[in-house]
Amino acid sequence: GINAEYGEYNLRMSTTEELAAEIEKEEAGLTAINRQLEELRFKIGMSQQAVGSVMKGIVTMDPFGQAGGSVMAYEDEKRALEDSKEAKMKRIRELKQKLDAVA
């Protein structure tokens, strides 16, 4: 009857809204990750320049090899962020497929 159909419609609506909200949340997370990646690329670039300067003998003050160490640390962080980004993108794709199935 009408009540059953209305109930199903309501369920579908709330599922759609929940999925849309979830997608929005994941996409916001993705935006944040992309911002972090941009900052890291900048830091990596700066650190690599510092390493280059040390190697060329322009700068002799890097007694602890900090520039090289930070490049490696940044690269690790970048890899971790790229993995998170992949996972988020996969999750968003799955959510959008679910949303298409429900809608």
pLDDT category at 59 given cuts 50, 70, 90 is low
Cut 0.85: pTM above it:
no
Q: What gap in Å lies between CA 27 and CA 23, rounded to an integer? A: 6
Interval 7-52: pLDDT, tens: 676 667 688 999 999 999 999 999 999 999 999 999 888 888 877 7
DSSP 79-93: HHHHHHHHHHHHHHH
Q: What gap in Å lies between CA 80 and CA 17, rounded to an integer? A: 31
